[in-house]
Amino acid sequence: MSDAGLAIIGGTGLTRLKDLEITRREVMHTPYGEPSGPLTYGRYHGHEVIFLPRHGAQHTIPPHQVNYRANLWALRNAGVDTVLAIAAVGGITAEMAPGVIAVPDQIIDYTWSRFHTFFEGDGNEGVTHVDMTYPYSQELRETLIAASRELGLGAVEQGTYAATQGPRLETAAEIDRLERDGCDLVGMTGMPETALARELELRYACCAVVANWAAGRSEGVITMDDIARNLETGMARVKRLLPEVISR
Ligand code: HPA
């Protein structure tokens, strides 16, 4: 992968990129407010990357309060053209077991009341409708998939991501509905991030890490302890995957 402009957005379970040799941090201000934190520049396994933890360095920003516009705007302003988004999710369908990593190819937006566009209709430009038929960069998805195959990580190579509002988890009935809609995974940050990346013409893909069976897909209730334990397994896979992705 070219060194020019690769960013990694870290999700829950990945607020720090171990092995990143940090060269500098830059506080950015954007017309949309402040990003989740300073952009962290560094060398990662020999390649230049910018890292940004979506929920802040201390994991204090809940999914509905992430300033997605500021994050993506800041990254693009820093010269980024490719964004690899890491995101913790719940698994709905059978192959999306806790600890699995997945590379979704579709997404459905169930979020509401988030700032979800850069096109506010307040400029001189005409009305803009970006194409979202294929919401993720196929090229970047293929890189992720090839890296996973090379390492034998068994990533699930497609799936539909349901983006829910959070911060609460879903009811069992809501998960049944998402499955009827064709969703395989459920997370709280995929939108508007994916759409905003498209509006900025960024190459964007998601590496989802299954933290838990979604509500009603296992016995009992979902505990934060279970999520933390499964995320550890999944993020260990991500940490093996990333250097291989970046070397391609
Ligand atoms: N639902 C929504 N978002 C999530 C979940 C979930 O079960 N697990 C991790 N992020």
Backbone φ, ψ for residue 236 (5° rounding):
-60, -40
What is the reported pLDDT for 190? 98
Distance in Å, CA 220 to ligand 1 centroid: 15
- Atom in ligand 1 nearest the alpha carbon of residue 164: 2
23, two tokens: 């060269």
Residue 122: pLDDT band with limits 50, 70, 90: confident
What is the reported pLDDT for 126? 73
Single pTM value for the model? 0.96
Distance in Å, CA 92 to ligand 1 centroid: 10
Query: How far is Cα 37 from Cα 40, in angstroms, rounded to an integer?
Result: 9
Residue 121: pLDDT band with limits 50, 70, 90: confident
Distance in Å, CA 172 to ligand 1 centroid: 12
Nearest CA to ligand 1 atom 10: 89
Apex CA 161: angle with CA 63 and CA 52, to 5°? 40
> Across-strand partners of 144?
none
Q: Does this complex have an ipTM over 0.90?
A: yes
- Atom in ligand 1 nearest the alpha carbon of residue 212: 8
Query: How far is Cα 62 from Cα 219, in angstroms, rounded to an integer?
Result: 26
Per-residue pLDDT reduced to its tens digit, 74-83: 999 999 999 9
Nearest CA to ligand 1 atom 2: 187
159 lines ligand 1 (CB under 6 A): no
Query: How far is Cα 209 from Cα 238, in angstroms, rounded to an integer?
Result: 8
Owner of token pair 């391609």: 248
